[in-house]
Structure 1
Amino acid sequence: MGLRLGGRHYGDEEFLVMAVVNRTRDSFFDQGATFSEEAALAAVDQAVADGADIIDIGGISAGELKEYVGVEEEIARVAAFAREVKRRHPGTAVSVDTWRHEVAEAVCSAGADLINDSWGGADPLTAVVAAEWGAGLLCAHVGGQAVRTDPKRVVYDDVMADVLDRTLALAERAVALGVPRECVIIDPAHDFGKVTVHSLEVTRRLREMTGTGWPVLVAVSNKDFIGETLDLPVERRLAGTLATLAVCAWEGARIFRVHQVAEARAVLDEVRALKFPGAAARSDR
C-alpha cells in the first residue's frame, strides 16, 4: 500500500529520515539541548539541511521517573512550534510524538501531518482526532504497558506475534475510524514494553512486519538495546545505531526515527543504492 504524509505521496523505494527534536529538559540522548525554542528551531533547520524528510517534535520524555508534564504544558511546548516548523519548511512533513488526544487536536490544528502515538493507543481518542483532521497516525507496539513505564520482567510467548497482533489491530481500527489507509504507519517500538532480547528479535524478524504491506517505522536510535548489546553508553551508540538502521532498511522498513540525521541519511542512501538498481546518486565509473 502507498504512503502519504500531508500532501505528498512517497514511493516504495524511498527511505524517509525522521529527525527527533525534543522540547524537553530530560531527553535521554541530548539531556535537554533543544528545550528552548531557539535551540529547537536551529536543530530543525540543521536536520532539514542534513536530509530529514520528517521532523518529529516531542514535548514529554518517554522514560519512567522523568519530569511530569501536564496536557496544557505539553501543548505549549509543541503546538505553536509545529506551526512554525511548518511555516519555515513547508516541504518537510511535521510529526508530533504524543499519546494524548488533546495534544493531537492542538497540533493538528497547527498543521501537523502525523501523530506519532508511541504509546500504542493508550488514549483511544487520539486516533479519532487523527481521523477528524485527515492526519497520519503511527500505531506502535508497547505490549499493553502503561504510559511512561520502563519494561521489567517482560515475557512473550512470541514477541513478533504480539507485535503483529497489536499493531495491525490498531492500524485497522484507525482506518475504520476514518484515518486514510495510506496515512497509517506501524512501529514495532524497540525497547517499549520490551527488553533487549525482544528488541533484537523483532529486528531479526522485521520482514514479517514489513511483509504485511503497512509502512513500517523503526525508532532504534541510540536505544538501550544497542547499548546493552555492545556494552556502550548512550554517547557511543552511533555505530550500533547505523548498523541496525541498515538491517531494518534491507528488511523493508520505510521510515527511520533518528537523532543523527546526516549519518543516517548517508547509510540509508547507500542501502537504497544496494537494494534498488538505479538508485545511486551518481554512477560515473
Structure 2
Amino acid sequence: MTYFRPIPIADAARPPDALPLAGGPLFFDRVECLERGRAPEIIPAAELDAAALAPLTAPREPVAGLPMDRPQIMGILNVTPDSFSDGGRFAALPEALAQAQRLVADGADMLDIGGESTRPGAAEVDPAEEIRRTVPVIEMLRGQGLETPVSIDTRKAAVAEAALKAGADLVNDVAALTWDMGLAGVVADRQAPVCLMHAQGTPQTMQDDPHYEDVLLDVYDWLAERIAAAEAAGIPKARIVTDPGIGFGKTAGHNLALLRRLSLFHGLGCPILLGASRKRFIGTLSGEPVADRRIAGSIAVALAGAAQGAQILRVHDVRETRQALVLWQAVTREAAETAGERRQA
C-alpha cells in the first residue's frame, strides 16, 4: 500500500499549481509517497489521481460548531486529583468553574473536561465517580450561559451519556471506542462528534515497552480501522476527529516521527487533533523535568502541528498558545490571502 503525505506550504511564494490542504489555510504541490520497506519518494501532487487527492484537499465539516478551516484551540480542564500536570488544582467545583472561565477568557475555542487521568500508570476511575467529577461542572457552565463548545474526555459510555445530557458537545475518547463497547452507540444515538485517539496499551501498561514496525504507518492504519468501525456503528465520517495519540504508548522517538510527518493523517479525511501539551517527551528533549515549566516547548510543538495543518490544538496554556498562534498566522497570512485572491480570479 502507498500512503500519500502532503507537504504543507505556509509561504507567500505559493506555487501556482498548489492545492488547498484540507480546505484550510495551507497548500501543497508535492506529496511524499510512503511504503513499508521502501525509502520515501517525493512526487508532484499533480501525479495523484482524483481519488487519492480528494481526502487531502476536501474541506472538513465543522466540529461542534467550530469551523475546521483554521486551527482551533482546545483548553484542557482536568477535574482530577492525579493528572500529570495539574492534578488536584481544579478538582473542586469552584476552582474548576473559575478555570473554565479563565480558559475561555484566554481564548479557548473549546473546553475539554476530563474526570479520569490517563497519564502513564494512572488507575481506572469508576464511572460514577467520573460523572460526579465532570457533570456538575458542565451543568454549571451551561447554567451560567457559557456557549463555548465543551468536550468530555472519557472512555466510558455512562460518562459520555451523562455529559452530553448536561450540555457537552463532543466525546474525546483516548481509546477510540475500544474500551467500552457501548460508547459508539451513545455517540451515534446522540449524533455527537467524536475524537478517536490512538493508544498502544492502557494507561497502566502503555509506557512499559512501546514497539512498532513503523510507528507512522501503524498508527495511520489503526486509525483508519477505527474510523471504519465508527462508521459501521452509525457515526458518519463528518463527525469524526482523529488524534495520533502523542505520548500514549510511544517513546520520544515515536512522538517525533509522528510530529514530523503529521500531515500524513489528512489522508484519513478527518480533522486532526494534536495533544502534546506539557508531555514527558518535551521534558526529555528540553531537560525540563517539571511539567508546568514546559510551556515554551509545548507552544513550539503546537505551532509545528499548525504548520502541518492540524485543525485542533489541545493545550493547557491557552493564553500563551493563542498569542503564538496569532503571530504565526500573521506572518503566514499573506499566503492564504494571495491564494484566496487567485481562487476568486
TM-score by length of 2: 0.76
Specify every segment of 5 or more residues in structure 1 that has no aligned partner in the other structure, as ranges: 281-285
After TM superposition, list the pairs within 5 Å mapping 1:3-82 onto structure 2. 3-6=61-64, 8-12=65-69, 14-66=70-122, 68-82=124-138
Q: Which runs of 4+ in 1 moved over 4 A?
A: none
Question: Which of residues 328, 331, 344 in structure 2 aligns to 1:274?
Answer: 331
SS of residue paired to 2:74: strand
Instruction: Report the equivalent of 1:249.
Output: 306
CA distance in 1, matches of 2:147, 2:274: 22
Asked if 1:169 corresponds to 2:244, the answer is: no
Instruction: Report the equivalent of 2:254.
Output: 198
AA at the equivalent of 2:300 = A
Q: CA RMSD in A?
A: 1.9
Question: Which of residues 261, 264, 267 in structure 1 aligns to 2:321?
Answer: 264
After TM superposition, list the pairs within 5 Å mapping 1:150-229 onto structure 2. 150-229=206-285
AA at the equivalent of 2:100 = V
CA distance in 1, matches of 2:249, 2:61: 27
Shift of 1:42: 0.4
Cα-to-partner distance string for 1:5-45 (whole Å, 9 max, x where unaligned): 33x25041x21111111111112111310001100000010
CA distance in 1, matches of 2:187, 2:204: 22
AA at the equivalent of 1:223 = K
Q: Is the contact between residue 241 and residue 270 of structure 2 (CA under 8 Å) also seen in structure 1? A: yes
SS of residue paired to 1:85: helix
Q: Which has more radius of gyration?
A: 2
CA distance in 1, matches of 2:61, 2:145: 20
Q: Is the contact between residue 123 and residue 204 of structure 2 (CA under 8 Å) also seen in structure 1? A: no
Q: Is the contact between residue 140 and residue 186 of structure 1 (CA under 8 Å) also seen in structure 2? A: yes
Taking a change above 3 Å as real, the CA distance of residues 269 and 182 of structure 1, as seen in their structure-2 partners, is farther
Q: Is the contact between residue 186 and residue 216 of structure 1 (CA under 8 Å) also seen in structure 2? A: yes
AA at the equivalent of 1:44 = A
SS of residue paired to 1:167: helix
SS of residue paired to 1:5: coil
SS of residue paired to 1:3: coil
AA at the equivalent of 2:190 = W
Shift of 1:104: 1.1
SS of residue paired to 2:268: coil
CA distance in 2, matches of 1:227, 1:198: 15
How many residues are treated as equivalent by the alignment?
Answer: 277
Bigger Cα displacement from structure 2, 121-130 vs 212-221: 121-130
Q: Is the contact between residue 221 and residue 258 of structure 1 (CA under 8 Å) also seen in structure 2? A: yes
SS of residue paired to 1:209: helix
CA distance in 1, matches of 2:288, 2:121: 22
Q: Is the contact between residue 68 and residue 271 of structure 2 (CA under 8 Å) also seen in structure 1? A: no
TM-score by length of 1: 0.91
Taking a change above 3 Å as real, the CA distance of residues 22 and 11 of structure 1, as seen in their structure-2 partners, is closer
Question: Which of residues 159, 164, 168 in structure 2 aligns to 1:108?
Answer: 164
Cα-to-partner distance string for 1:188-211 (whole Å, 9 max, x where unaligned): 110101111101110001011134
SS of residue paired to 1:240: helix
CA distance in 2, matches of 1:199, 1:235: 19
Specify every segment of 5 or more residues in structure 2 that has no aligned partner in the other structure, as ranges: 1-58, 338-345
CA distance in 1, matches of 2:226, 2:324: 31
